[in-house]
Structure formats: C-alpha cells, structure tokens
C-alpha cells in the first residue's frame, strides 16, 4: 500500500487523535505541559543592566524560554520573595515555580528543578565576575544560598 493512499492517511490521523485522547485521559498531556512550564523563565532586571541580558541569553542557550522584564523594583521583589537585604542579587528569575536570584550556573538551576526542595528558591548575591553573564575571572568559590524563611543555608558552592 502506498503512503499517499487516502485510507492510510485517514487511519493515521484517526489513530493519532485516539492516542492523543487516550494520553489526555491518562494525564500524560498535563505532565507534558508541566514540563514546558519548568523551561519558561521570567527574568526581572534593572533596565540599564546589560549583564542581566547576558544571563538571559545564557539561559536561552541552555533550553529555557526567557522573557525579560525591566523594572526599578528589584529591591522590593527581593523582599517579596524573602531574599535578605544583604544578599540581594543582580536580577531575579522565576523558573519552574522557584525564585532564582542572580547569575546561578545552569547545573545548579537544573539541580534545583530536579530535586524540587521545599524552599522558595536559590540566590547568588551581587554581580561576581566570571559567572554566567558576567565577564572576568571568578575570584574563587562562591556560595549560592537557599531562599527560605529564616534560613542562611548554603545550597551549593560553585
């Protein structure tokens, strides 16, 4: 039978629709949508900051769909999400239900998304040299903190 035969094509379409319907009934489609949401990022940054654009590009090259939102309210956003005032990051990203502050390397972001800890998020304070989106040489090991009520716990060292 030729693949251009209309009977074959209509059977294929019908089979595909039945499989999609069965997948939706089994809950497979919502899981796929949830996985898509973990790849979407809203990155809040100061309108004049170019390094934040660099971090957004870094996330894009690692498979994330990034929307950049310029704002003059980063301090207020940091307070809203529970980031201590002395640990304020360069920018704030919302990724997969978590807050990611600053220039956190992708392997740490992926670890957060796969482990799914019961925290608000993670944060790399300031604008250290040599991290994703920042020029220069990293000065040495840097601490990435958990964002959680009353916590100063280190989540990772990079």
Which helix (H) or strand (E) element contains residue 93?
strand 92-95
Statement to judge: residues 76 and 147 lie in one domain: yes
For residues 15 and 103, what is the distance between their CA atoms, to the nearest angstrom? 46
- Structural domain for 5, as ranges: 1-36
For residues 129 and 67, what is the distance between their CA atoms, to the nearest angstrom? 24
Statement to judge: residues 24 and 58 lie in one domain: no
Statement to judge: residues 84 and 6 lie in one domain: no
pLDDT tens-place string over residues 30-71: 444 444 556 899 999 999 988 899 999 999 999 999 999 999
Statement to judge: residues 1 and 43 lie in one domain: no
Statement to judge: residues 76 and 94 lie in one domain: yes
In eight-state DSSP terms, residue 116 is -
Give the CATH number for residue 80: 3.40.30
Statement to judge: residues 7 and 44 lie in one domain: no
Statement to judge: residues 14 and 47 lie in one domain: no
pLDDT tens-place string over residues 113-149: 999 999 999 999 999 999 999 999 999 999 999 998 7
Non-local CB neighbours of 104 within 8 Å, separated by 6+ positions: 122, 123, 124, 131, 132, 144
Statement to judge: residues 109 and 65 lie in one domain: yes
Statement to judge: residues 66 and 5 lie in one domain: no
Statement to judge: residues 27 and 46 lie in one domain: no
* Band (14; pLDDT cuts 50, 70, 90): low
* Band (92; pLDDT cuts 50, 70, 90): very high
Statement to judge: residues 43 and 32 lie in one domain: no
For residues 158 and 87, what is the distance between their CA atoms, to the nearest angstrom? 16
In eight-state DSSP terms, residue 97 is T
* Band (29; pLDDT cuts 50, 70, 90): very low
Does residue 88 carry a pLDDT above 50? yes
CB 124 within 8 A of CB 146: no
Tell me if the pTM is above 0.85: no
For residues 28 and 15, what is the distance between their CA atoms, to the nearest angstrom? 17
Query: What is residue 121's three-state secondary structure?
Result: strand
Number of independent structural domains in the chain: 2
Statement to judge: residues 67 and 115 lie in one domain: yes
């Amino acid at each position: 039978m030729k693949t251009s035969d209309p009977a074959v094509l209509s059977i294929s379409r019908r089979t595909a629709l039945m499989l999609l319907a069965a997948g939706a009934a089994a809950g497979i489609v919502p899981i796929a949508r949830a996985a898509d949401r973990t790849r979407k990022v809203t990155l809040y940054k100061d309108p004049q900051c170019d390094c934040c654009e660099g971090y957004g590009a870094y996330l894009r090259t690692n498979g994330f769909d990034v929307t950049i939102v310029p704002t003059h309210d980063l301090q207020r956003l940091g307070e809203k999400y529970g980031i201590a005032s002395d640990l304020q990051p360069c920018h704030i990203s919302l990724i997969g239900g978590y807050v990611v502050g600053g220039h956190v390397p992708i392997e740490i972001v992926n670890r957060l998304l796969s482990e799914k800890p019961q925290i608000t998020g993670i944060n790399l304070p300031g604008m250290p040299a040599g991290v994703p989106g920042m020029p220069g040489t990293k000065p040495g090991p840097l601490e990435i903190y958990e964002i959680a009520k009353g916590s100063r716990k280190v989540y990772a060292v990079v």
